[in-house]
Structure 1
C-alpha cells in the first residue's frame, strides 16, 4: 500500500496529542475523530486496525454505517 492508513493514524495521533493532560491522561471527552471510507468492508477493517492501535490510549473506535446504528450514548462516548 501507499501508507494511507498510517497517514490517517498519524493525523489522529496529532489531534489526540492536543488533548493530553500534564499527568499524561487524555481528555477523551474533548474531541471526536471521524474517518470516512467508501466501502463497509474497509470501514470494518479500519475499525479493527485503529481500535487495536488506539486502545493503548483508552480511545474507543466505533463503526457507524447505514447497516450499523449507534445509540446517542455510544456516539457521545
Structure 2
C-alpha cells in the first residue's frame, strides 16, 4: 500500500486500532494499527477520524528502540 502521512484515519478501511494498557483514562492516548501492506498507522484517540501518520516497520522499530533506551525522555520530563 502507498499511504501518505496525514491521511484521515477513517479512510484507512477496516483496521484494528489498539493502545497501551498503561494509557491514562482521560483519553490522551496514541493508538496504532497494522495496515494491509505491513505499514503501521498511528492516530490520536481523541480524534479517531482525524489524521493518521503512517510508518514502515523499520521506522517504528527504530523509534521504539530509541524510546526503550531513553532517547526521548527529555521531551516529557
Which of the pair is proportionally richer in strand? 2
Q: TM-score surpassing 0.5?
A: no
Q: Which has the higher contact order (CA 8 A, sep 6+)?
A: 2
TM-score by length of 1: 0.26
TM-score by length of 2: 0.26
